[in-house]
Amino acid sequence: MVKNNTPTCVLINPDKYKELMEVVESYQLLVEAEQRMKSATPSEFVKQEDLMKKLQIKEDELAGEDVELDE
């Protein structure tokens, strides 16, 4: 849509809008993760075993869980 020959808004399908917002959110999370990794020092890292112990999670409790990693 235009007003005075200047674009004022764009109409898109709600599903396409949702898809675009998911892409934006994923990109924002990627940028944040990259910034954190650049400024992190090895002393700030926590081993998985130590975190699981702190949170009282046992390895066998995770055996049946599915994990999806976005590329």
Enumerate the domain spans of the chain. Answer: 2-62
* Mean pLDDT score across all residues of the chain: 90
Average pLDDT over residues 20-35: 96
What integer pLDDT is reported at residue 71 of this predicted model? 57
Nearest by Cα to 49 from 37, 41, 57, 60: 57
Residues 40-52: pLDDT tens digits? Answer: 998 888 998 999 9
Residues 60-69: pLDDT tens digits? Answer: 888 877 777 6
Average pLDDT over residues 24-35: 96
Give dist(CA 32, CA 43) in Å, integer.
20
